[in-house]
A = this chain, B = another copy of it.
Amino acid sequence: MKHLIDIGDLSAAQIVHLLDLTDHMVEINQRPMPKVPALRGKTVVNLFFEDSTRTRTSFDTAARRLSADVMNFAVSSSSVNKGESLRDTIETITAMGVDAFVVRHSSSGAPQQITKWTTASIVNAGDGWHQHPTQALLDCYTIRTNLARPQSFDGLQIGIVGDITHSRVARSNVQAFNALGAHVTLVAPPTLLPPGVSGWPVSVCHRIDDIISTVDVLYLLRMQRERMVDALVPSLREYSAMYGLTPQRAKRLQQHALVMHPGPMNRGVEISVDPSELPGSTILNQVANGVAVRMAVLFELLGSSPDPARDQLEGATNKQEPRAHQ
């Protein structure tokens, strides 16, 4: 793997390999000193053309825990304002010596385009409505560890609820869940379903109540207030009544069912029950797993050891462990 642009580029085996590597990272994160020198001397550049504290901080934390140097670029302070082209920006930063760009951009395809202009690895941290592959990976990891299943998701019923059209999370997750063997049902009003959805490997329905009592995983998407302006939903209150996870609906969930959300939540819109009172809520666990998954991705792209888990992550790096006497 040189880049991570599109979750659809990965085979099921590659996804499982990254999830296995994430296990190691979770273990590192639970140590008293959650830091290993695996990527010491590597430079990771966060290049965010859209605002995102959550995802940027997650990548930042992941890179630091592997001892990489991190540089953060926000658009507002970059030469892009001086009319420099994106290509020149990428080539310039590359010339300074960078090993990976983590890119968020409002245009679908921008991270793919950037791969042509640099020798560094590119990680897509969200491009337009297109892809958000590390979100898909962290969600797969969260399901795998919280449902205590084997590698396969065979037979798993996952409902994704909300604004499918404008959601890179939905597109990425449908691909990843499907690759691992789950069956996905999209739940949304017709105005929030993309035109080509009939070609997707999913079922579609228009009422959350149709799936609430049968899913193993209820995945709620963020309802962006901007959609109201576009008149795609009549009101937030009506959206909440039709598609929100209310206390009444929460009672109808199966006992083992997970409730997931990519954050940040609009409390009172897509979710009007306090997630901390839902036994199946994985929302904060998703955040924690996001750091570990991004550690796994950065390590997979930039780490050099043939047997990374053994050589770089465990033995040589953990100076606190007891050593054999000489």
Give the distance in Å from the alpha carbon of A57 to the alpha carbon of B290 in the complex: 27
CA distance A225 to B81 in the complex (A): 13
How many copies of this kind of chain does the complex include? Answer: 3
A40 touches B34 (CB 8 A): no
Assuming the A-B contacts A57-B96, A58-B96, A71-B61, are A41 and B51 also in contact, with contact meaning beta carbons closer than 8 angstroms in the complex? no
The residues in A between 233 and 273 inclusive whose CB is less than 8 angstroms from any CB of B are 263-267
The reply to whether B29 and A97 form a contact with Cβ atoms under 8 Å apart is: yes
Q: Is the CB of B41 within 8 A of A97?
A: no
Partner-binding segment picked from A85-93, A181-189, A197-205, A206-214: A85-93
Q: Confirm or deny: A13 has a beta carbon within 8 angstroms of a beta carbon on chain B.
A: no
A262 to chain B, nearest CB (A): 11
Q: Give the shortest distance, in Å, between A68 (CB) and chain B (any CB).
A: 11
- The answer to whether B35 and A264 have CB atoms under 8 Å apart is no
For residues 57 through 94 of chain A, which have their beta carbon under 8 Å from a beta carbon of chain B? 57-58, 60-61, 64, 69, 71, 73-74, 77-79, 81-85, 88-89, 91-94
Q: Is the CB of A79 within 8 A of B54?
A: yes
| Residues of chain B lying within 8 A (CB to CB) of residue A43 | 61, 64
A-B contact pairs, 30 of them (CB 8 A): A31-B41, A33-B40, A35-B40, A35-B41, A43-B64, A51-B81, A53-B77, A53-B78, A53-B79, A54-B92, A57-B93, A61-B96, A61-B97, A79-B264, A82-B264, A83-B225, A83-B266, A84-B263, A84-B264, A85-B267, A88-B264, A88-B267, A92-B263, A95-B284, A95-B285, A95-B287, A95-B288, A96-B287, A96-B288, A97-B288
